[in-house]
Amino acid sequence: MAEVEIPDDHPRHDSLVTRHRIEAGVEKGITSQQGLIAQGRGEAFDYLLGERTLPSADAAARAAAAHLLLAERPVISVNGNAAALVPAELVELAGVVGADLEVNLFNRTDERIQAIVDHLRAHGAGEVKGREANARIPNLNHERAKVDADGIADADVVLVPLEDGDRAAALADLGKIELVIDLNPLSRSAQVADVPIVDNILRAVPAITVHARDLADAPRTDLERIVAEFDPETALADAERAIRGGELV
């Protein structure tokens, strides 16, 4: 079924849209084949959440927006799944909060980096970082350690959607503020995040943008209060409770 044919009120709407986009991402050389497996895992959690955004996840999206607006050098890290699922939405968010986009891949090849840069540019991005890879995240022995010196290496706040736990922990060790989108509240990346957003990236990225627009003119003290009042442990516990005990809709 083509994406346009999936009715908005279809009970598994988000799941079908996501599958379609991931499949197209693999065909275009943007998403890795492992990305299909990662998506399947995420989908199981989304099913148990009833494919809806919990109030605690929306509060996390608001805290993430506040962090991005407060940041001096915010960067949005983009992998093959994120690029396939929400390219235009990532470009829009980057514009609203003044963040750089940087491609960073677990299964890194020059061809995939270029395909994702081209894909983001086709969706309206200006400069996209990630090709230089002239800096390294210490204590990380795989390809995700390769970052741009003037991008993730220098960032104070990093949004890392669908991250694997190793790099999330290494970035946290560097003292960067980490905003993670991950449907699994038990994943290491969600656990080490300053702000874990336990929601489908399809819903989470537009939600952060809506909050960022809403907060764009807020005084810094308001943004700092939103950040200070957000508790990651409570958000994770709420998501886990919903997944383990929730009623399917």
Per CB under 6 A, residues contacting ligand PTJ are 18, 32, 34-35, 38-39, 41-42, 45, 79-81, 85, 105-107, 162, 164, 181-184, 187, 200-201
- Provide the 3-class DSSP secondary structure of residue 179: strand
CA distance 217 to 107: 39
Q: Which helix (H) or strand (E) holds 160?
A: strand 157-161
Q: Minimal distance in Å, beta carbon 218 to ligand PTJ?
A: 27
Half-sphere exposure at residue 123, Cβ-oriented, CA atoms within 13 angstroms: 20
Residue with Cβ nearer ligand PTJ (34 or 139): 34
Q: Minimal distance in Å, beta carbon 69 to ligand PTJ?
A: 23
Residue with Cβ nearer ligand PTJ (35 or 74): 35
Q: Put residue 29 in one of left, alpha, beta given phi > 0 → left and psi -120 to 50 → alpha.
A: left
Q: Minimal distance in Å, beta carbon 237 to ligand PTJ?
A: 17
Strands 146-147 and 135-136 come out as: antiparallel
158 bridge partner residues = 75, 178
CA distance 236 to 212: 22
Residue with Cβ nearer ligand PTJ (81 or 209): 81
> Which position's Cβ is nearest ligand PTJ?
42
Q: Minimal distance in Å, beta carbon 116 to ligand PTJ?
A: 8
Q: Minimal distance in Å, beta carbon 209 to ligand PTJ?
A: 16
CA distance 68 to 99: 8
Residue with Cβ nearer ligand PTJ (166 or 223): 166
Residue with Cβ nearer ligand PTJ (34 or 234): 34
> Both tokens of residue 49?
């959440």
> Both tokens of residue 229?
């009042």
Residue with Cβ nearer ligand PTJ (35 or 151): 35
Q: Minimal distance in Å, beta carbon 5 to ligand PTJ?
A: 21
Q: Put residue 224 in one of left, alpha, beta given phi > 0 → left and psi -120 to 50 → alpha.
A: alpha
